[in-house]
Structure 1
Amino acid sequence: MIQRKPGEAEAVGKKAPNAQTAASIALYSLLVLLALWVMRDFIPAVVWAGVIAIALWPLLLRLETPHASRKRTIGVALLLTTAVALFVVLPFVLVITQAAHESHDFIEWFKQAEANGLPLPGLLEHLPFSAQQVTAWWQENLARPLHDSPFIKGLHVEAAVTAGRHFGALAAHGLILFGFMLMTLFVMFQAGSRMSGNLVKATRRAFGVDGALLAHQMTAAVRGTVAGLVVVGIGEGALLGIAYAIAGVPHATLLGLLTAIAAMLPFCAPIIFCGAALWLFAQGATVAAISVAVFGFVVVLIAEHFVRPLLIGSSTRLPFLLVLFGILGGAQTFGLLGLFIGPALMTVLTVLWRDWVGQD
């Protein structure tokens, strides 16, 4: 029998639990990473569902009752999930419907262009610079029948077909993720306050009171970012929709809706109102085109640099510059999800700085 020195048994006893704890942590971490790897393709859908759930959580708590029946809980979750689905899908349905109404006129215009070419717009001859070069290129490539145009012949049909298939695959993948996002959102809404309470308990147990407070502030940052993006986007769309109507742009209401959707993403609204300005310019309404473009850039400048950061910063106590860095830097780093992740990370940075310097 092996004889141990005094105190050696106690040392071995202490090492064994430490080794078991380290092995348990390693095993749990490996299993969590493996689970995340298995569901890696669906993580964006879960994150999007989390962002939307955070934004609508105060409304969910108002609709809930302390001792609600299962039917009421399911009904509230279904109502909010359906509202989110309609908010996303309805604009695309309107655009597709309007495009279907205009498809006949577009097909007739394309047939005439293919047979006779596109006439040279008179405004090209009055450009302040490069008027001769642009006119000569148009006469050579577009003024003749398009089936004989060197420009059209130079387009690679196979590349266009490949690009179309790639776009179709991306659209199908996006629809699948959207479906899973709605399913996840419904489950989150159905869990309700019970899930939020468990998350708060888990955060407090893992990171303490300060960690739970930080998570609450990050949640407020995400909610404020959603509110800022949606409210400012709707405001930009309404103002520019009025401008389209005054300038005589056709389908001003539909274009205003598209502008609102684009304006929910930073600096995407110019794509719509610059296209409207170019259409006015092509119709010879130069003053109206310049007015729409200038008014659009003024609205975007004020909304993106002042109104949106103020809305987000007021709910998160973030400085103006950090809000701007969070939105733009987050979008550049993480894509669309970065619009919400960026301000949340800036909130962490601000809280850590205030704790470090002892500021309330």
Structure 2
Amino acid sequence: MTSRPPIAPPEAQQNPEEPDDPACLIRQKRASVALYIGLVLLALWVVRDFIVVVAWAGVLAIALWPLLRKVESHRWFSGRATLIATALTLAIALLVVLPVGIGIAQAFREAHDMSEWFKNAQENGIAVPDFIAHLPFGTQQISTWWQANLAQPLRDTAAMKGLHSETVMTLGRRFGARAAHAVTVFGFMLVTLFVIFQAGPRLSGALLKGARRGFGDDGAQLLQHMATAVRGTVSGLVVVGLCEGALLGAAYFVTGLPHVALLAFVTAIAAMLPFCAPLTFGLAALWLLTQGSVAGAIGLAVFGSIVVFVAEHFVRPVLIGNSTRLPFLLVLFGILGGAETFGLLGIFIGPALMTVLMVLWTDIVR
């Protein structure tokens, strides 16, 4: 009877690169991290067109989060997350759709008068406005240029011919495409915002828990500081915008402009964006100038410039800085630099990034 060869102990049969080997574990860990990063980047690339939508929904959700928590704590709305989410989402939709709808309706009402004016300009030209005769200087030069270029029938001019060219059709198609894209983005943003509101505290708790697991308590605190910065920026923009709209609305009423309420509302919306209010009161002052009210136009332009200068350089940075505990220059640089780098969304991203910079600097010098 032949004897069998001895069986090697289990330790001798193990692969040199067994799972318990530290070098193997390190390589597996690195491979897992690379795989996760690749999958995350691939997922972001797939949803790249919706990142802005999610960012806007996040900004609005952060700004309204205290209101959401307050409503949820009321006994009448306890356990009615879907109802609360629906109400808040509809309120935001109305805040955007209502002024746009009013403006479109007003434009349709004025369309007939504009059409008649346009036809008269084609047939008879544009008469020299009365206020030009009362200008302190340059009256003769402006009147001569006006008579030579605008007071004659404009039907055969290059400008009128250009209005019927393919360029206008192309611009119209591009404007329509951009408008359709904006409506689509706004719709997806509302849907995303509804989902965030419906998730409620569960979502914020999950985000903080994930930040603590991934980056520790400092990472969770940094996330909270960034949310506070975004909330303070939104509050500062809205409060300052409403105040600018109210003050300039009073100026519109004093100078005798028509549609004062609509102009004040549009000005308030524009003033929520840094340095956009001059566009509205500047056009209003230009309209007053064409109507012969030189004093009213100058007064409105000067008053509006003072209001915007004080609001943009002092009030708004102070409001945002107090809520985020940021210095004046960091708030101002965050708003302007963010807007220049990331567009409209950068107005809120900039102060949040400045908050991160301030927190890191505080930890270094502590």
TM-score where L is the length of structure 1: 0.93
For 1:233 and 1:286, locate their aligned partners in 2 and report how far apart those are by CA, in whole Å.
Answer: 27
Aligned to 2:230: 222
Q: Give the 5 Å matches for 1:221-240.
A: 221-240=229-248
CA shift for structure 1 position 135? 2.8
CA shift for structure 1 position 52? 0.2
* Among 341, 346, 351, the residue aligned to 1:338: 346
For 2:236 and 2:250, locate their aligned partners in 1 and report how far apart those are by CA, in whole Å.
Answer: 21
CA shift for structure 1 position 66? 9.2
* Among 80, 97, 100, the residue aligned to 1:92: 100
2:203 maps to 1:192: no
Deviates more, 1:34-43 or 1:67-76: 67-76
CA shift for structure 1 position 37? 0.5
CA shift for structure 1 position 138? 2.2
Question: Would the alpha carbon gap of residues 56 and 159 (structure 1) be closer, same or farther in structure 2, given more than 3 Å must change?
Answer: same
Q: Give the 5 Å matches for 1:127-206.
A: 127-128=135-136, 130-153=138-161, 157-206=165-214
Q: Give the 5 Å matches for 1:162-311.
A: 162-311=170-319
Q: Deviations over 1:74-117 (max 9, x none)?
A: 10000000011011111101111111222222222222222211
Q: Deviations over 1:293-313 (max 9, x none)?
A: 000000001100111011100
Q: Structure 2: 5+ residue runs without aligned partners?
A: 1-7
SS of the counterpart of 2:274? coil
Q: Is the 8 A contact 2:241 2:272 kept in 1?
A: yes
SS of the counterpart of 1:148? coil
- For 2:167, the aligned partner's letter is A
- For 1:317, the aligned partner's letter is R
The percentage of counterpart residues that share the same residue type is: 61
Question: Would the alpha carbon gap of residues 9 and 152 (structure 1) be closer, same or farther in structure 2, given more than 3 Å must change?
Answer: closer
Q: Is the 8 A contact 1:141 1:151 kept in 2?
A: no
CA shift for structure 1 position 128? 4.9
SS of the counterpart of 1:231? helix
Q: Is the 8 A contact 2:226 2:352 kept in 1?
A: yes
Say how many residue pairs are matched: 356
For 1:50 and 1:10, locate their aligned partners in 2 and report how far apart those are by CA, in whole Å.
Answer: 46
Q: Is the 8 A contact 2:77 2:84 kept in 1?
A: no
2:332 maps to 1:324: yes
Q: Is the 8 A contact 1:218 1:347 kept in 2?
A: yes
Aligned to 2:4: none
Q: Is the 8 A contact 1:313 1:320 kept in 2?
A: yes
For 1:204 and 1:68, locate their aligned partners in 2 and report how far apart those are by CA, in whole Å.
Answer: 34
For 2:158 and 2:136, locate their aligned partners in 1 and report how far apart those are by CA, in whole Å.
Answer: 27
Aligned to 1:120: 128
CA shift for structure 1 position 143? 1.2
Query: What is the RMSD computed on CA atoms of the aligned residues?
Result: 2.4
For 2:225 and 2:174, locate their aligned partners in 1 and report how far apart those are by CA, in whole Å.
Answer: 40
Aligned to 1:108: 116
2:321 maps to 1:313: yes
For 2:237 and 2:248, locate their aligned partners in 1 and report how far apart those are by CA, in whole Å.
Answer: 16
Q: Deviations over 1:141-200 (max 9, x none)?
A: 321222123443356722222122111111111111100000000000000001110001
- For 1:319, the aligned partner's letter is P
Deviates more, 1:339-348 or 1:154-163: 154-163
Q: Is the 8 A contact 1:142 1:149 kept in 2?
A: no
Question: Would the alpha carbon gap of residues 160 and 132 (structure 1) be closer, same or farther in structure 2, given more than 3 Å must change?
Answer: farther
Q: Structure 1: 5+ residue runs without aligned partners?
A: none
Q: Is the 8 A contact 2:17 2:24 kept in 1?
A: no
For 1:66 and 1:59, locate their aligned partners in 2 and report how far apart those are by CA, in whole Å.
Answer: 11
Question: Would the alpha carbon gap of residues 154 and 171 (structure 1) be closer, same or farther in structure 2, given more than 3 Å must change?
Answer: closer
For 1:11 and 1:177, locate their aligned partners in 2 and report how far apart those are by CA, in whole Å.
Answer: 49
CA shift for structure 1 position 129? 5.2
Question: Would the alpha carbon gap of residues 219 and 71 (structure 1) be closer, same or farther in structure 2, given more than 3 Å must change?
Answer: closer
